């Protein structure tokens, strides 16, 4: 798995670091690097595109305001996912709803490609069916894991224990393996 170690070992953001980089500059960098992923995550959580973009921008502004006020954020990336998750919780009221990743919109391709072969379709179909075997929690844990979050960060984002994250990921692994091996 090509995780980015830099993202997993981020230092806490301070008001100004030893090299003189300001909070504004640090958040600016994080904004440039991460806004696409947070936006995608909000789309997966079921928000329409315009609302997802608006909330993404709000989350980064909130990060900046917190840091400017002297609050410490140990891991901005996990913090941003947590904010997105909370926004979804507040918006949908029930976790089961926002955890639905709406698998039926998958296999979408706005440009119909006549050369897409039957084999490719079957592969994609097998993969899609394998992912559909996952429960919403398993899928959410795997999604965040693929985004580069560690177990503790996933646990903080979703609000469950690290052992529960491990269990969800173990089951997700078994299910995907079983479905893809068929």
Partner 1 sequence: MNERRSHHLSEEQLARYQDGGLPPREASHLEVCTECSRLLRDLHAATAAYRRYLDSIRAPALPPPPQPWRTLDNLIAQHEAPVPRRALRWWLLPALGTVICLSVVIGFVLRRTALQSPASELLARSATMELPANRMVSLRLHGRSLARPAVLLAGSADRDPDLAHLARLFTRARYSWQEPLSARSFQSWRTGLREKRDSVTVIHGGPETAYRVRTDTPGGILRSAALTLRAKDLHPTQGAFQFEGEEPLLMEESTSALPPPVSRQAPDVPKMERQPVQVETPASPADTLHVLAALNTIGADVGEPIEVSVDSGRQVLVRAAGLSPDRLRQIAAVLQPLAHVKFEAAHATPDARPPAPQTAAPERSSAGMPGALRQQFEDRLGGAVTLQEMTDRVLEACGLAVARAHAIEVLATNFPPQKESALSDHDRELLSYLHHLHWAALRDLAASVESDLEPLLSRAAAVSEPPPHVPWQTQSPELVAAAQQVDNSLNRLLAGSYSQPVGEDLLNSLSRQLAHLREVIEFQNERGR
Minimum CB separation of residue 128 from partner 1 in Å reads 6
Name the DSSP letter for residue 34.
H
| List 39, 66, 75, 83, residue binding partner 1 (CB under 8 A) | 39
Residue numbers 7-26 binding partner 1 by CB under 8 A: 8-9, 24
Residue numbers 65-124 binding partner 1 by CB under 8 A: 65, 94, 96-97, 100-112, 116, 118, 121, 124
| Binding flag, residue 173, partner 1 (CB under 8 A) | yes
| Binding flag, residue 135, partner 1 (CB under 8 A) | yes
- Where are the alpha helices (H) located in the chain, listed in sequence order? 5-8, 23-44, 49-68, 76-92, 95-99, 118-132, 136-146, 151-158, 162-181
Is the Cβ of residue 86 or residue 163 nearer to partner 1 in the bound state?
163
The count of C-alpha atoms lying within 13 angstroms of the C-alpha of 110, restricted to the half-sphere facing its C-beta, is 0
| Binding flag, residue 150, partner 1 (CB under 8 A) | yes
Q: 39-53 burial, b for 16+ CB within 10 Å, e for fewer?
A: bebbbbbbbeeeebb
Torsion of CA 38, 150, 86, 61, to 10 degrees: -50
Minimum CB separation of residue 155 from partner 1 in Å reads 10
Where does this chain touch partner 1 (CB under 8 A) — which range of 14-22, 74-82, 83-91, 144-152? 144-152
| List 1, 12, 20, 90, residue binding partner 1 (CB under 8 A) | 1
Is the Cβ of residue 82 or residue 132 nearer to partner 1 in the bound state?
132
Separation of alpha carbons 169 and 138, rounded Å:
6
- Tell me which residue of 36, 69, 66 sits closest to 53, measured CA to CA: 36
């Amino acid at each position: 798995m090509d995780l980015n170690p830099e993202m997993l070992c981020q230092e806490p953001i301070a008001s100004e670091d030893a090299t003189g980089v300001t909070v504004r500059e640090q958040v600016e960098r994080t904004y440039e690097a991460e806004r696409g992923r947070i936006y995608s995550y909000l789309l997966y959580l079921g928000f329409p595109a315009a609302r997802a973009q608006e909330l993404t921008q709000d989350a980064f502004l909130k990060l900046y305001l917190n840091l400017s006020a002297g609050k410490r954020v140990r891991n901005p990336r996990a913090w941003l996912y947590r904010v997105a998750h909370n926004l979804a919780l507040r918006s949908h009221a029930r976790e089961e709803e926002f955890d639905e990743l709406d698998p039926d919109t998958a296999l979408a391709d706005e440009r119909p490609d006549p050369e897409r072969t039957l084999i490719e379709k079957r592969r994609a179909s097998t993969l899609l069916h394998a992912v559909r075997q996952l429960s919403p929690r398993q899928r959410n844990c795997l999604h965040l894991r693929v985004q580069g979050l560690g177990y503790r960060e996933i646990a903080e984002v979703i609000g469950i224990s690290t052992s529960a994250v491990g269990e969800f990921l173990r089951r997700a692994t078994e299910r995907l393996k079983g479905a893809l091996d068929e």
